[in-house]
Amino acid sequence: MADLMTACRLPAEWEPHAATWIAWPHRRATFLGPFAAIPPVYERLARLIARYEPVRIIGSREVLAAPRAALADAADVSFVELPTSDSWVRDTGPVFVVPRMRTAGTGPRAVCWNWNAWGGKYPPWDADAGVSRGIAQHLGLSIDAPGIVLEGGAIETDGDGTLLANERCVVDPKRNPDLDRSRMEAALRKHLAIDRVIWLGGELAGDDTDGHVDQIARFVAPGRVLAARQPDRLDSNHGSLDANLAILAAATDARGRRLDVTPIDIPARFAFEGTQLPASHLNFLVGNGFVAVPVFGGPTDGPALRTLEACFPGRTIEPFDCSTLVRGRGAIHCITRDEPSVASSH
């Protein structure tokens, strides 16, 4: 495995995609409030992404009946019959690595982590435990199965050997009781061909993932990070996000670069029926020619969109209303899984 992984790398999300995967929603357990409003949000997002790249939607035959009908007129949307427990494919899907050198017959490989619904929060999860392998097998990819619980939203890469990870949800006795931070970091380095891990902490109020990093900090280029900030001192997110900003400001990446850190203010005390939710503009998806950005109808939307527009010149910034979707404690990035193309190889 060591020789195989040294030939691979974990690509950045802004590199070319072959497709984006979505798991169709059918389970109310992870969503607050009326569930009927949720599938139309997924439909709207699938249509948006399909304007730029292929979309592949998974679910059982019964679950897929609704989106097949709703998206019958949408080009570049296909359906893969693969049973699911829930609809958070960022976490249940495989993590793709690509060959470092582009040669004939080479392509992405699938790292298929174990799954236990964020430390056992939402049983049953047996169908979702098979999603990563199911996608990999559908694509005919070689599989690396580390035997370790890890969710895709818990990690973020620059494509150049550096990984951001939140210790709170990656080093967790409810996920991997026998792995401390040093052993978990060794596993990340081995299976994802990572040279440096930058550990963050904290979590957004209402985030049932225990602090996935795709809500907190994201790379937009090698050496450049956007990080969530909450200037409202009455908001419970203020302190932990400030602490992460300090960690990032002092950090260097795998190539020895001091990180260029830009804060993005997130909505303060965003709630549904009294429950604070993890509303974050950092939960964006970078795709082929576009960036889909969560917006929530408040004063932080405009500055976040302008910052991302400056970070991704040449890509269309697509604001996407997540005020309903966030009732599931996630947003755009959480419900999508980007599949890199062979063009992601150097």
Q: Which residues pair with 263 in a beta bridge?
A: 227
| Predicted local distance difference test score (pLDDT) of residue 104 | 52
Q: What is the mean pLDDT of residues 43-64?
A: 98
Quote the mean pLDDT of the chain: 95
Which helix (H) or strand (E) is 311 found in, with range? helix 301-311
Quote the radius of gyration of the chain (alpha carbons, Å).
19
Q: Output b/e per residue, 182-200; b: 16+ Cβ within 10 A.
A: eebbebbbebbbbebbbbb
Active site residues: 334
Per-residue pLDDT tens digits for 284-305: 999 999 999 999 999 999 999 9
Q: Do 46 and 73 touch, CB atoms closer than 8 A?
A: no
Structure-derived torsion over alpha carbons of residues 252, 256, 257, 259, reported in degrees to the nearest 10: -10
Neighbours of 151 (CB within 10 A): 26
pTM attached to this predicted model: 0.96
Neighbours of 5 (CB within 10 A): 19
Q: What is the mean pLDDT of residues 174-192?
A: 97
Structure-derived torsion over alpha carbons of residues 252, 261, 335, 345, reported in degrees to the nearest 10: -50
Residue 23 has pLDDT above 90, yes or no: yes
Per-residue pLDDT tens digits for 60-112: 999 999 999 999 999 999 999 999 999 999 999 999 999 987 665 567 899 99
Residue 12 makes CB contacts below 8 A (sequence gap 6+) with 157, 158, 159, 160, 219, 222
What is the DSSP annotation of 119-163? Answer: HHTSS--TTGGGHHHHHHHHHT--EE----B--GGGEEE-SSSEE
Per-residue pLDDT tens digits for 302-317: 999 999 999 999 999 9
Q: Do 337 and 20 touch, CB atoms closer than 8 A?
A: yes
Per-residue pLDDT tens digits for 218-247: 999 999 999 999 999 999 999 999 999 999
| Predicted local distance difference test score (pLDDT) of residue 119 | 98
Residue 2 has pLDDT above 90, yes or no: no
pLDDT band at 205 (very low <50, low <70, confident <90, very high): very high
Neighbours of 34 (CB within 10 A): 10
| Predicted local distance difference test score (pLDDT) of residue 5 | 59
State the DSSP code for 111: E
| Predicted local distance difference test score (pLDDT) of residue 102 | 67
pLDDT band at 343 (very low <50, low <70, confident <90, very high): low
d(CA 344, CA 102): 8
Neighbours of 281 (CB within 10 A): 27
Domains and CATH numbers, the chain: 2-344 (3.75.10.10)
Q: Do 269 and 276 touch, CB atoms closer than 8 A?
A: yes
